[in-house]
Amino acid sequence: MASHLLLLSNSTVPGMRYLEHAIDAISEFLGDERTVHFVPYALADHSGYTARIQEALKPLGVTIVGLHTQKNPGKTLETARVLFVGGGNSFRLLKGLQQANLLEVVRQRVTKGELRYLGSSAGTNMACPTLRTTNDMPIVEPVSFESFGLIPFQINPHYVDPDPKVVHMGETRDKRIEQFLEENDVPVLGMREGAWLSRKGPQLRLAGVVGARLFLRGQPPQEFEPGADLSHLLHLPAHFDQSP
């Protein structure tokens, strides 16, 4: 048995319904599974968020079970088959996961191939070792930044390319990732909106309608197009809190 993950950069594409751009990929990911346990902690309205996911995945005939409705979410996930961790604020999401004591049970069951993991935006951030490459404001304070660690590298969802025509008074996304790499020798994959990663055991593939940019310390960024085999990222060394 091996890890099975689908990691979306985003949930919404202009001109399309919620999750519509990735509905075929989600269908393939689910296979015969028709019950999806959903983590709505990244948004304040847990019930409304869960209902939105139910409506979005209605064409697939799935039933969405919001973990906020479960008396013991950790116990529920001991037998669940599919987990969807939705987007929103990464700091709020991680704090909710910590308070519900879900990090270890998810990590173990996904690693063993017993639980399929679907993430979007902040949920994709949670699949990384840490949330440090999120774009979000720290509206709450988690106990630590450690997340699920289902992959050994970092992702920056909603990656936006620098626009030389825009006078930006702050830092570009590239600059923020560069600063991360000054303190951490860890690969960072900038996933543009409309991109996703699919992992089946040792195989990791980039898919979607756009590509992604890979950042490594001391190297120029590398571009990858949809369909690229990124399995090598599962074997690159990652060293956190290590300045040059």
**Cβ–Cβ < 8 Å for 95, 140:** yes
The pLDDT assigned to 171 comes to 79
Catalytic-role residue among 136, 147, 185, 198: 136
CA 73 – CA 55 distance, rounded (Å): 22
Active site residue 27: no
Provide the token pair at 17.
């319904």
- Give the residue ranges of DSSP H helices in the chain: 23-30, 46-56, 73-76, 90-99, 103-111, 122-126, 173-183
Specify the residue for token string 């040792």.
202
Whole-number percent of the chain with pLDDT over 70: 96
Name the domain count of the chain. Answer: 1
Supply the mean pLDDT for the chain: 95
Specify the CATH number for the domain of residue 220. Answer: 3.40.50.880
Query: What pLDDT band is residue 168 in, cutting at 50, 70 and 90?
Result: low
pTM recorded for the entire structure: 0.96
Active site residue 235: no
Residue 239 domain-assigned (yes or no): no
Catalytic-role residue among 4, 21, 37, 158: 158
Residue 244 domain-assigned (yes or no): no
Strands 4-8, 212-215: pairing is unpaired
Tell me 106's DSSP state.
H
For residue 223, give the nearest of 183, 201, 185, 195 by alpha carbon: 195
CA 175 – CA 183 distance, rounded (Å): 13
Provide the token pair at 43.
């948004």
Element (H or E) spanning 63, and its range? strand 63-66
The pLDDT assigned to 13 comes to 87
Residue 21 domain-assigned (yes or no): yes
Mind listing the pLDDT tens digit for each residue in 25-77? 999 999 999 999 999 999 999 999 999 999 999 999 999 999 999 999 999 99
Mind listing the pLDDT tens digit for each residue in 192-216? 999 999 999 999 999 999 999 999 9
Whether 165 shows a pLDDT value over 80: the answer reads: no
**Alpha-carbon dihedral sign for residues 67, 70, 73, 78:** negative
Query: What pLDDT band is residue 166 in, cutting at 50, 70 and 90?
Result: low
**Cβ–Cβ < 8 Å for 192, 159:** yes
Provide the token pair at 220.
């120029």
In this structure, the dihedral spanned by the alpha carbons of residues 14, 192, 126 and 181, taken in order and rounded to 10 degrees, is -150
Residue 243 domain-assigned (yes or no): no
Mind listing the pLDDT tens digit for each residue in 178-188? 999 999 999 99
Phi and psi for 217 in degrees, rounded to 5?
-60, 130
The pLDDT assigned to 162 comes to 78
Active site residue 158: yes
Identity of residue 206:
L
**Cβ–Cβ < 8 Å for 191, 155:** yes
Specify the residue for token string 């089946």.
200
Domain that holds residue 178: 4-234
The pLDDT assigned to 243 comes to 84
**Cβ–Cβ < 8 Å for 158, 136:** no
Catalytic-role residue among 121, 147, 185, 198: 121
CA 69 – CA 230 distance, rounded (Å): 37
For residue 29, give the nearest of 107, 118, 112 by alpha carbon: 118
From residue 218, give the alpha-carbon distance in Å to each of 12, 51, 78, 169, 228: 33, 45, 42, 25, 23
